[in-house]
Amino acid sequence: MFQQAIGAHLDTIAQTINEDAVGPLCRLNGIPPELIPTLNHGDIESADLARLGTYLVSLGTAGLLAD
């Protein structure tokens, strides 16, 4: 259920960015509607948590994560 909730939030964020940023910017630049790109999130259910953990530890060790 947590993954579904996160997916719903990501859908909302992507929709907002597409409607309020990407679309208007492309229209201002004269890009035809059929060529306007869209922002989409990837599959969150198959994320490699061990890889993510290693990445976060590396960031912490480098001093890039503040308390």
> Which tens digits make up the pLDDT trace of 10-64?
999 999 999 999 999 999 999 999 999 999 998 877 778 888 899 999 999 998 8
Res. 67: pLDDT tops 70? no
The residue assigned the tokens 């989409």 is: 40
pLDDT of 59: 93
> Measured between alpha carbons, how far is residue 54 from residues 5, 18, 20, 57 in Å?
25, 32, 35, 5
The residue assigned the tokens 């308390």 is: 67
pTM here is: 0.63
Name the region of 58 (left: φ>0; alpha: ψ -120 to 50; beta: rest).
alpha
